[in-house]
Amino acid sequence: MLEKLLSICDNRFRNNCYFTCINCNYSGNCPRNEQDCEKCLINVHYPESVPEDAPPRKYDCQKMADFYVGRFSYRFTSEMIYALSCLKDIWNSNLIKILSFGCGPCTDLLALDSLKKNNVLNYSNLEYRGLEYNESVWQNIHEDIKTISPKGTRIEFIYEDVCEYIKKISPDALMPGWIPDWIPDLVIFQYFFSDLHKNSKPEHISGFLEAFARFSNLYMPPKSYIVLNDINLGMDYNGGRDYFDKLKHLLNNCGSRKGRFRDDNTKSDYYPNGYPYGEDSDGEFPDNSIPFDIQRYPRYSPKQTCASARMIIKRR
Cβ-count burial 233-271 (b if 16+ within 10 Å, e if not): bbbeeebbbbbbbebbebbeebebebbbbbbeeeeeeee
pTM of the model: 0.91
CB count in 10 Å sphere of residue 55: 12
The pLDDT score that the predictor gives to residue 268 is: 60
Domains, the chain, ordered by start: 4-62 (no CATH), 75-315 (3.40.50.150)
Tens digit of pLDDT at every position of the chain (316 positions): 999 999 999 999 888 766 666 666 666 677 665 557 777 777 777 777 777 777 777 777 888 899 999 999 999 999 999 999 999 999 889 999 999 999 999 999 999 999 999 999 999 999 999 999 999 899 999 999 999 999 999 999 999 999 889 888 877 666 666 677 899 999 999 999 998 998 889 999 999 999 999 999 999 999 999 999 999 988 888 888 999 999 999 999 999 999 999 987 766 654 556 667 766 788 899 999 999 999 899 888 899 999 999 999 999 9
Distances (CA, A) of 62 to 69, 108, 226, 281: 11, 20, 29, 38
